[in-house]
Structure 1
Amino acid sequence: MSLGFQQVGISDTDLSAEEPRLQAWLDKQYHGEMEWMVRHGMMRARPHELQPGTLRVISVRMNYLPAKAAFASTLKNPHLGYVSRYALGRDYHKVLRNRLKKLGDMIRERCTTVNYRPFVDSAPVLERPLAVKAGLGWTGKHSLVLNREAGSWFFLGELLIDLPLPTDQPQAEQCGRCVACITTCPTGAIVEPYVVDARRCISYLTIELEGAIPTEFRPLIGNRIYGCDDCQLICPWNRFGQLTDEDDFSPRAVLHAPPLTTLFAWDEPTFLRVTEGSAIRRIGHLRWLRNVAVALGNAPWSQENILALEQRQGQHPMLDEHIEWAIAQQKLKRQANALEVQRPQQKRLVRAIEKGLPRDA
Structure 2
Amino acid sequence: MSMDFQQLAADIKQWGKELGFQKVGITDLDVSAEQAALKRWLELGMHGEMDYLARHAELRADPALLHPGSVRAISVRMNYLPAEAGFARTLKNPRLGYISRYALGRDYHKLLRNRLKQLGQRIQQACAELDYRPFVDSAPIMERPLAVKAGLGWTGKHTLVLDEQGGSWFFLGELLVNLPLPTDQPVQEKCGSCTACITICPTQAIIEPYVLDARRCISYLTIELKGAIPEQFRPLLGNRIYGCDDCQLVCPWNRYAKLTDEGDFAPRKDLHAPELLTLWQWDEAQFLRQTEGSPIRRIGFERWSRNLAVALGNATAAEDIIAALEQRLPSASALVAEHIEWALARQRSGVAQVEKQVLRLVRAVERGLPRDA
Alignment of structure 1 residues 268-283 onto 2, 5 Å: 268-283=284-299
Q: Which gives a bigger RCO, structure 1 or 2 (Cα 8 Å, sep 6+)?
A: 2
Which whole-Å deviations, capped at 9, do the CAs of 1:180-236 have from their partners, x for residues lacking one? 000100000001100100000000000011111111100000000000000000000
Q: Quick check: 1:19–1:42 contact (8 Å CA) kept in 2?
A: no
Q: 1:320: which partner in 2?
A: 337
Which whole-Å deviations, capped at 9, do the CAs of 1:55-113 have from their partners, x for residues lacking one? 00000000000001110110000000000001000101111011001111111112223
1 CA distance for matches of 2:76 and 2:41? 26
How has the CA–CA distance of structure 1 residues 176 and 286 changed in structure 2, closer, same or farther, with 3 Å as cutoff?
A: same
1 CA distance for matches of 2:63 and 2:210? 22
Alignment of structure 1 residues 199-348 onto 2, 5 Å: 199-313=215-329, 314-333=331-350
1 CA distance for matches of 2:292 and 2:315? 28
Task: Report the TM-score when normalising by structure 2.
Answer: 0.89
State which structure, 1 or 2, has the greater radius of gyration over its C-alpha atoms.
Answer: 1
Percent identity of paired positions between Structure 1 and Structure 2: 67
For the pair 1:95 / 2:111, whether they are aligned, the reply is: yes
Query: Aligned partner of 1:297: which letter?
Result: G
Q: Which SS does the other structure have where 1:10 is aligned?
A: strand
Q: CA deviation at 1:335?
A: 10
Query: Aligned partner of 2:44: which letter?
Result: K
For the pair 1:133 / 2:149, whether they are aligned, the reply is: yes
1 CA distance for matches of 2:187 and 2:276? 42
2 CA distance for matches of 1:56 and 1:152? 24
2 CA distance for matches of 1:273 and 1:46? 40
1 CA distance for matches of 2:308 and 2:213? 23
Q: Which SS does the other structure have where 1:156 is aligned?
A: strand
Structure 1 stretches of at least 4 aligned residues deviating more than 2 Å after TM superposition:
none
For the pair 1:36 / 2:41, whether they are aligned, the reply is: no
Residue 31 of structure 2, aligned match among 12, 15, 26: 15
Q: Which SS does the other structure have where 2:76 is aligned?
A: strand
1 CA distance for matches of 2:160 and 2:38? 15
Q: 2:192: which partner in 1?
A: 176
Q: Which SS does the other structure have where 1:333 is aligned?
A: coil
Task: Report the TM-score when normalising by structure 1.
Answer: 0.92
1 CA distance for matches of 2:288 and 2:200? 33
Q: 1:164: which partner in 2?
A: 180
1 CA distance for matches of 2:349 and 2:28? 57
Which whole-Å deviations, capped at 9, do the CAs of 1:265-315 have from their partners, x for residues lacking one? 101111111111111111011110000000000001111111111122132
Residue 210 of structure 2, aligned match among 184, 194, 200: 194
Residue 130 of structure 2, aligned match among 114, 132, 147: 114
Q: Quick check: 1:33–1:209 contact (8 Å CA) kept in 2?
A: yes
Query: Aligned partner of 2:195: which letter?
Result: V
Q: Quick check: 2:317–2:352 contact (8 Å CA) kept in 1?
A: no
Q: Which SS does the other structure have where 1:295 is aligned?
A: helix
Q: CA deviation at 1:334?
A: 6.5
Q: 2:356: which partner in 1?
A: none
2 CA distance for matches of 1:311 and 1:161? 56
Q: Please, which moves more after superposition, 286-295 or 325-334?
A: 325-334
1 CA distance for matches of 2:352 and 2:37? 49
How has the CA–CA distance of structure 1 residues 222 and 335 changed in structure 2, closer, same or farther, with 3 Å as cutoff?
A: closer
2 CA distance for matches of 1:3 and 1:58? 14
How has the CA–CA distance of structure 1 residues 335 and 146 changed in structure 2, closer, same or farther, with 3 Å as cutoff?
A: closer
Q: Please, which moves more after superposition, 34-43 or 205-214?
A: 34-43
Which whole-Å deviations, capped at 9, do the CAs of 1:100-152 have from their partners, x for residues lacking one? 01111111112223211111111111111100000000000000000011100
2 CA distance for matches of 1:39 and 1:69? 36
For the pair 1:60 / 2:90, whether they are aligned, the reply is: no
The CA RMSD measured in Å over matched residues stands at: 1.2
| Unaligned residue ranges in structure 1 (runs of 5+) | 337-361
Query: Aligned partner of 1:120: which letter?
Result: V
Query: Aligned partner of 2:70: which letter?
Result: T
Q: Quick check: 1:118–1:158 contact (8 Å CA) kept in 2?
A: yes
| Unaligned residue ranges in structure 2 (runs of 5+) | 1-16, 354-373
Query: Aligned partner of 1:331: which letter?
Result: R
Q: 1:147: which partner in 2?
A: 163
